[in-house]
Amino acid sequence: MQKIREFLELQAFGVCTSIGERLGIATTRIRTWFIYISFLTLGSPVIIYMILAFWKNIKNYILAARRNPLKEF
């Protein structure tokens, strides 16, 4: 079960994990509420999730570029 969870966290952008770490809330609770809200609002939080995933991905690229001393500007 742990391997499945790790695979899903890596493949699902880790947005809920990031939110949970920043707020100090268990990621399973955030995921559960995300699923409930998605069903109640007919999937509109999925758009917010994708925006957050995009933002997190861009942030990782920027941080990686800053840490790379061989990259020329």
pLDDT recorded at residue 9: 64
pLDDT recorded at residue 73: 53
The Cβ of residue 14 has, within 10 Å, a number of other Cβ atoms equal to: 19
pLDDT of 8 > 70? The answer is no
Question: For residues 10 and 15, what is the distance between their CA atoms, to the nearest angstrom?
Answer: 10
Radius of gyration (C-alpha) of the chain in whole angstroms: 15
Taking alpha carbons only, the member of 19, 22, 26 closest to residue 52 is 19
Q: Which tens digit of pLDDT belongs to each residue from 23-61?
A: 899 988 988 888 888 889 888 888 888 888 888 878 777
Pull the structure tokens for residue 23.
Answer: 């707020």
Instruction: Calculate what percentage of the chain has a pLDDT beyond 70.
Output: 79
